Each structure stands twice: as C-alpha cells, then as structure tokens.
C-alpha cells in the first residue's frame, strides 16, 4: 500500500512535500517523494489523501476510556467537587456498562487520530475494548488501599487481573501494567508493593502524582479537602486516623516509598513540582505525562512542560478522563498545551514542532515503545494518520506542522491506521464492533446518569 499526500511529516526528520509512505505487512518499508516511490513500486495500491498531512499516530499517555459515557455529566466544577460527584454518579453504572463506555472511548480515540492509548482501569473494560478495536495500548491495572492491612489483598486481586489480562490480549499490540491510586486514596506502603511487583514482573508503572494543589497540600501540610477533620466525622477520602502531614512534595514523598525503583515509571499530572523534584525525576528516569486541558478545566493548574523538556525528561501528553475534558482530542491538547506554556512562560517560546514531537515520539519514549512507533521511519510499525489541511487558515505551504498544531482538531482526521490496518476513515470505522449498537447502548447508559435518574 502506497499512502500519498501533499505533506509527509515524519517528525524525526524534515517534512516531505508531495510525499508517500510504503506500508507492507504492517511495517513502514519506504518513504520519500511520491513520484520516486510510484516508479519504484508501480504495482502497489495507491491511496492519495490529497491536501493533507500524513504523520505518526498520536500517543495518548493518560486516559480512562470507560468514563467516556460520563462526558458532560458533571459540568463546570472544580477538581474536588468534580471528583466527588463523579464517584457518586459511577455507582449507577453496572459492570457491563463500563465495557460499552470503553468501546465508545476507543472509537473516539481512533476518529481523533490516536493510535496508542495508555489507560488506567480497575474493571478491565478498557483492556477488552482496545484489544477488540485494534488500538495499540498500555493498560494499567489501578491498585489502592488506604488501610495498610488491606494492601496484600488489593495486590493479590491486581496480580490475578494482570495475569488474566495478559492472556486475553494481543501481546504484540497491548501491554499490561500497574498503577497506583492517587495518594489521598492510598496507604504509602502500596507504592512500595507496586514497585516490587512491577520490577519482578517487568511491568510499566503509572502514578497519578503532584497533579493538583489540593493533593500537594494534603501531602505536605495535611490541609486540603482530602483531609479528615474531627475524630468522629469522615469527610473527603481519608479514613480515621487523620492524615499526618509529611512536609515534603508529593514527588519526594513517593520517592521515600521506593515508588520510582521499577524500571519503567511514568507520573501523570505533575503540576506541583519544584526544581528538586525535577532532579529526582531525571535521576530515576521517570517519564512525565501532562494533561493540559483537564488540569485547566478542573482548575488544577499548569504543568511546567517547558521545564520538563529542558530537563531532558521523557514527556508526552494525555487527554485524561473524557468526563473531564468532554472530548478525546489530542490535536486540541497540543494546541492548548502550547498556548498555556507560552502564556505562563513568555521568556521561552514553545513552538509547534516541539509540541508535535511531544504528542508523538515523546509519548512513545515515555512508554518505552519509541523503537516501534512515534515517527515515520523505515522498519517502524505503520501507526499513521492523515489530517486534512484543505480548510486550514494557515499558510500550510510554508509550514504544515504549524498548520496541524495551530488549526486542526479531531474533525480534520481523515484516516487512522494501526499496524498497517486502516481502522478509521472519515465517519467510518473498520473495527470488529457494531458501532450503531454500541451507540444505542451508550444512550441507554446515559439515561441512568440524568439528575432525576
């Protein structure tokens, strides 16, 4: 298959005007000028995307596909209020509903140009969904236990799920990992248990860490909406006895419990970090996922993405829960992330090329799969997308990367391919799922979430 377009954006090399990419057996076999490749492979099937950019698929470092059905359920609420209301609404959803919701999330991801998702789950719904849909994925089984006496049971349950999920999925495309619940939901010894198990089983680890001022104040001072106030009253998330403040940042708190000892650790959030935290993250080669839209939407702050890049950390972007951002759109994530960095740090001007790298090869590096995906290079898996530039207001003939980052959204995605398989074309999915039936199920599920339900 010869994929042609006005522009090819390899990411790790210069854009190619009037270019083409040869895909065979799910692998990129050649890349260059379209005229040359047509002469070289005269019998190859040609798919011409026209005035578009063919580029690597987007890598979403943090999402919760199973929460897709809850989009718009909790509007205009700050983080703690949103979290509390989300937990209350989730009690109305049955086990089978999570799977249909995860399918919806996966379909949204494909239609927005995402070819790799890193998803955190306790139900396993997203694990089944991505395997069925053909998405490349890292699925993290979340573990949490506030009571130290319950950690062993929580870990045993997680280990059982992880071993089962490994047998269920296509191991060439889906990797199973382990994640820790947020610090305000977890006894610190859980972090050590996760790290030890991940090291033994060679599992990637995800930690929601330093993602909000509330969490940072909770760890450092014991004063936030997550604290328990009063010996006979339970409020927020923490059980009696009350939390004892540590006086350190969330990053150094996690470090004290060996959270970064596993070989492949990623933190998600990273809004409240200081220079000393950056040094420790660099020392332990911890990857970082920033979620610009979600942290802005929920009033959690702005992660210092530019500082992460200058510290030479492995860093990428995540869309976070669809229930927070209400859309799975990595193209918009890139643009807002770039603009926020320019606004809060005018001394350094983050450019479009850097943001495209962060959303593609940067995310692949964070997951440790940059040898397979993240850029258009010979020998890499054919995880690619085509983005329409015909309606761009940019002067894309001089800078197609700026056109993609500054003007495009999920609506401009023309095609999404994973492993050489076209899974989405404009308004059509080529997946092993009855899309219409799934949408009908989602409408039924959302009826349970109405205020009067």
Burial 5-37 (b: 16+ CB within 10 A, else e): bbbbbbbeeebbeebbbbbeeeebbbbeebeeb
Q: How far is CA 238 from the centre of its chain?
A: 27
pLDDT in tens, 343-353: 998 888 999 99
Burial class (CB in 10 A: 0-12, 13-18, 19+), 316: buried
CATH architecture, range 2-56+380-428: Roll (2.30)
C-alpha distances (whole Å) from 77 to each of 66, 305, 324, 415, 423 are 20, 24, 9, 35, 35
Q: What is the pTM of this model?
A: 0.94
CATH architecture, range 58-367: Alpha-Beta Barrel (3.20)
Q: Which residue has the tokens 């057996």?
A: 25
Tens digit of each residue's pLDDT, the chain (453 residues): 999 999 999 999 999 999 999 999 999 999 999 999 999 999 999 999 999 999 999 999 999 999 999 998 888 899 989 988 898 888 899 888 999 999 999 999 999 999 999 999 999 999 999 999 999 999 999 999 988 999 999 999 999 999 999 999 999 999 999 999 998 888 999 999 999 999 999 999 999 999 998 889 888 887 667 654 433 334 444 444 455 678 899 999 999 999 999 999 999 999 999 999 999 999 999 999 999 999 999 999 999 999 999 999 999 999 999 999 888 899 999 999 999 999 998 888 999 999 999 999 999 999 999 999 999 999 999 999 999 998 877 666 679 999 999 999 999 999 999 999 999 999 899 998 888 888 888 889 988 887 765
Look at strands 52-56 and 384-388 and give their pairing. antiparallel
Sorted by where each begins, the domain ranges of the chain are 2-56+380-428, 58-367
Which ranges in 21-116 belong to alpha helices (H)?
Answer: 34-40, 79-90, 95-111
pLDDT in tens, 228-272: 443 333 444 444 445 567 889 999 999 999 999 999 999 999 999
Contacts made by residues 187-190, CB under 8 angstroms, sequence distance 24+ = 187/145, 187/146, 187/147, 187/148, 187/151, 188/253, 188/256, 188/257, 189/148, 189/151, 189/257, 190/143, 190/144, 190/145, 190/151, 190/154, 190/155
């Amino acid at each position: 298959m010869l994929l042609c377009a006005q522009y090819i954006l390899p990411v790790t090399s210069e854009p190619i005007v009037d270019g083409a990419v040869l895909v065979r057996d799910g692998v990129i076999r050649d890349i260059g000028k379209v005229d040359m490749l047509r002469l070289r492979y005269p019998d190859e099937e040609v798919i011409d995307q026209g005035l578009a950019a063919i580029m690597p698929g987007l890598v979403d470092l943090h999402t919760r596909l199973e929460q897709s059905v809850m989009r718009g359920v909790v509007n205009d609420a700050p983080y703690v209020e949103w979290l509390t209301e989300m937990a209350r609404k989730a009690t109305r959803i049955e086990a089978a509903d999570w799977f249909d919701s995860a399918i919806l999330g996966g379909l949204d991801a494909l239609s927005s140009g995402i070819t790799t998702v890193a998803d955190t789950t306790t139900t396993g719904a997203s694990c089944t969904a991505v395997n069925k849909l053909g998405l490349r994925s890292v699925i993290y089984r979340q573990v949490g236990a506030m009571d130290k006496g319950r950690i062993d049971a929580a870990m045993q349950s997680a280990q059982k799920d992880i071993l089962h999920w490994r047998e269920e999925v296509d191991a060439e495309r889906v990797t199973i990992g382990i994640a820790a619940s947020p610090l305000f939901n977890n006894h610190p010894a859980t972090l050590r248990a996760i790290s030890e198990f991940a090291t033994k089983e060679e599992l990637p680890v995800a930690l929601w860490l330093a993602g909000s001022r509330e969490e940072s104040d909770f760890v450092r001072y014991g004063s936030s909406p997550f604290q328990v106030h009063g010996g006979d009253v339970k409020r927020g998330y923490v059980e009696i006895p009350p939390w004892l403040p540590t006086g350190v940042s969330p990053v150094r708190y996690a470090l004290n419990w060996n959270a970064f000892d596993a070989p492949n650790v990623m933190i998600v959030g990273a809004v409240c970090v200081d220079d000393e935290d950056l040094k420790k993250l660099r020392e332990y080669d911890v990857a970082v996922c920033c979620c610009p839209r979600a942290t802005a939407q929920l009033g959690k702050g702005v992660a210092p993405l530019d500082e992460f890049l200058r510290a030479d950390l492995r860093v990428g972007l995540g869309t976070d829960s669809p229930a927070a951002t209400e859309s799975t759109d990595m193209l918009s994530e890139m643009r807002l992330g770039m603009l926020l960095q320019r606004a809060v740090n005018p001394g350094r001007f983050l450019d479009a090329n850097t943001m495209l790298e962060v959303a593609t090869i940067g995310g692949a590096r964070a997951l440790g799969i940059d040898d397979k995906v993240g850029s258009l290079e010979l020998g890499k898996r054919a995880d690619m997308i085509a983005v329409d530039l015909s309606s761009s207001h940019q002067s894309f003939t001089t800078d197609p990367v700026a056109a993609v980052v500054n003007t495009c959204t999920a609506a401009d995605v023309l095609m999404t391919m994973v492993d050489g398989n076209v899974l989405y074309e404009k308004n059509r999915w080529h997946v092993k799922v009855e899309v219409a039936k799934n949408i009908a199920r989602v409408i039924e599920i959302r009826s349970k979430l109405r205020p009067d339900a």
